[in-house]
Amino acid sequence: MGRSKVAITIDAGLLQQLDRLVQEDVFRNRSHAIQIAVKEKLERVDRGRLARKCQKLDPMFEKALAEEGLSEELQGWPEY
């Protein structure tokens, strides 16, 4: 996947913390640290979105749907 340059504005205190972590070799450089932070945040957002969608599901309906599909699938299997 290609990379793109972006410009950001960041609080001075956050930048000091970031630079300290770069100096301690926690991250290769500022870009690497910010890229990892954004990636992790997006993953958390996606997990949260999935969890919220799952909360909206009706367990009884989902169970009935699964059992219906399973029974149809089993009918097509040969007897042993």
Distance CA 33, CA 59 (A): 41
- What's CA 72's distance to the chain center, in Å? 34
Kindly list the domain boundaries of the chain, sorted by start residue: 12-75
> What tokens does 13 get?
């205190």
List of residues 6+ apart from 10 with CB closer than 8 A: 18
The mean per-residue pLDDT over the stretch 10-29 comes to 97
Task: Encode pLDDT of 24-76 as tens digits.
Answer: 999 999 999 999 999 999 998 888 777 777 777 788 877 777 777 666 555 66
